Structure 1
């Protein structure tokens, strides 16, 4: 039984391309990190800063699971 090998596209210098799903995974915690820094550097309470920062993360999450969700299933032979 042969093993399936997944090959990644490269840009010619050995770096893999970044998909929009990778970008979404990177962007999800960024608003929360900004909220944590805002609560540490300003007199804003942590609960207010994190609560406010969770709104953009929640919107990104909803976008990721609805509009940007994969529509086809790739199956290996």
Structure 2
């Protein structure tokens, strides 16, 4: 019998550590391999991460296009 999918929420996790103080480090990283992080903010329901827009799709799309298995 197929298990019903459980919608996950914050109550399903146990906080281990705060990472909010590490956002300045993410904003200062200057690398071609890491997407640029600009800032973050939240409302009562969501956390928003403002990051560099990089068109081109995901890694799987790239692999399919290049016919890499």
TM bucket (normalised to shorter chain) is under 0.3
User: Which structure: greater strand fraction?
Assistant: 2
TM-score normalised by the chain length of structure 2: 0.22
TM-score, normalising length: structure 1: 0.21
